[in-house]
């Protein structure tokens, strides 16, 4: 894993080469299985925000914990173990007070959920924020890349919620295969529209999002 830390008034971490070759093979096997047939749900079932009663995203997805009775049955869950096991090392070079405070008390991250999303032609996610303390998005697509767009906008402008994100510039982060971004969930973010170069099913943009939260007790 190639880890880089950034701070533009708000912190984020980019990790390239998240999965090794064997892990990628396992992850793609599961994705292909979930793409076979019609197993992915529309935004209304995958936790979208709404603006004027309209979902802020256009894509399809599924929360993996809703379909697996035990994590051991999911290749994605098994491959993601190394991310959680290495979270201290991934964050250790941070100069951000946010990640430093998380490192001092990792026990606060006592709940997580995992969402697989797929973006096909003209799919997008308008600016929004998550309820998680930390969001980790892993981007995947089949080579050769068959779409344009689908880039990630961090600190995206969300005037609907009266957020003070105008204090700092937005960052456009290029979608790259096998890349992960880690950031505080409260930072507004979005995905630019995907423009497919062909209409072959499954050749669009996939995201595996891990939401790390604090369980309400």
Query: pLDDT for 154-187, tens place per residue?
Result: 998 765 555 556 778 899 999 999 999 999 999 9
Place of tokens 């308008």: 126
Instruction: Express each pLDDT in 27-48 by its tens digit.
Output: 999 999 999 988 999 988 888 7
68-88 pLDDT per residue, tens: 989 999 999 999 999 999 999
Cβ pair 184, 10 in contact under 8 A: yes
Q: Is the dihedral of CA 107, 97, 85, 186 positive or negative?
A: positive
In the chain, what's the furthest Cα-to-Cα distance?
A: 48
The helix (H) or strand (E) run that includes residue 29 is helix 21-35
- In whole angstroms, give the CA distance from residue 18 to residue 80: 9
Q: Are the C-beta atoms of residues 94 and 184 closer than 8 Å to each other?
A: no
101 CB-near residues (< 8 Å, 6+ apart)? none
Q: In whole angstroms, what is the distance from residue 81 CA to residue 97 CA? A: 25
């Amino acid at each position: 894993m190639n880890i880089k830390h950034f701070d533009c008034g708000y912190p984020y971490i980019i990790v390239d080469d998240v999965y090794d070759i064997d892990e990628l093979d396992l992850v793609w096997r599961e994705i292909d299985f979930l793409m076979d047939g019609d197993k992915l749900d529309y935004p209304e079932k995958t936790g979208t925000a709404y603006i004027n009663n309209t979902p802020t995203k256009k894509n399809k997805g599924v929360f993996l914990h809703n379909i697996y009775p035990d994590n051991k049955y999911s290749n994605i869950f098994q491959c993601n173990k190394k991310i959680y096991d290495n979270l201290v090392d991934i964050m250790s070079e941070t100069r951000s007070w946010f990640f430093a405070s998380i490192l001092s008390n990792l026990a606060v991250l006592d709940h997580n959920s995992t969402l697989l999303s797929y973006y096909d032609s003209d799919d997008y996610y308008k600016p929004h924020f998550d309820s998680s303390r930390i969001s980790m998005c892993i981007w995947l697509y089949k080579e050769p890349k068959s779409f344009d767009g689908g880039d990630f906008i961090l600190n995206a402008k969300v005037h609907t919620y009266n957020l003070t994100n105008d204090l700092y510039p937005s960052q456009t982060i290029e979608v790259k295969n096998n890349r992960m971004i880690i950031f505080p969930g409260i930072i507004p973010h979005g995905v630019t529209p995907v423009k497919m170069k062909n209409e072959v099913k499954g050749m669009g943009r996939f995201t595996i999002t891990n939401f790390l939260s604090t369980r309400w007790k």
